[in-house]
Amino acid sequence: MTSKTKAKQAAALSYKDGAAPIVVAKGEDALAEEIIALAEQAGVHIHQDEHLANFLQHLEVGEAIPSELYGLIAELIAFVYVLEGKFPEKWDNMHNKIMQQV
């Protein structure tokens, strides 16, 4: 009986305001390792999600993500913005209103 190990997968997305994120790189095994290493060297945030990586492998490089992924990817982008200290212009106003109500 042979054991089958899952291939390591990676996909890289690029996002510009006003457009859907696009797949700019994808790969398995050694190529996935290279994509991850390059992202780490460039200081790009990495999100590990086996199911998302598997889904993104079915897209072509240069292809926009499907609308079904907009919510998930938007949450990831927003989280990265917060990690980098970037907040929407009205963040302070919204944050203050929330704190006043609590």
Q: Is the pLDDT of residue 81 over 70?
A: yes
Task: Give a yes or no: residue 73 inside a domain.
Answer: yes
CB of 20 closer than 8 Å to CB of 63: no
pLDDT band at 1 (very low <50, low <70, confident <90, very high): very low
CB of 23 closer than 8 Å to CB of 60: yes
Is pTM beyond 0.85 here?
A: no
Whose tokens are 């302070």? That residue is 92
Say which residues have a Cβ less than 8 Å from residue 67's Cβ, sequence separation at least 6: 20
Task: Give a yes or no: residue 96 inside a domain.
Answer: yes
The residue segments making up the domain with residue 24 are: 9-101
pLDDT band at 87 (very low <50, low <70, confident <90, very high): confident
Average pLDDT over residues 18-35: 95
Number of domain units in the chain: 1
pLDDT computed for residue 62 by the predictor:
97
Q: Is the pLDDT of residue 54 over 70?
A: yes
Task: Give a yes or no: residue 67 inside a domain.
Answer: yes
Task: Give a yes or no: residue 1 inside a domain.
Answer: no
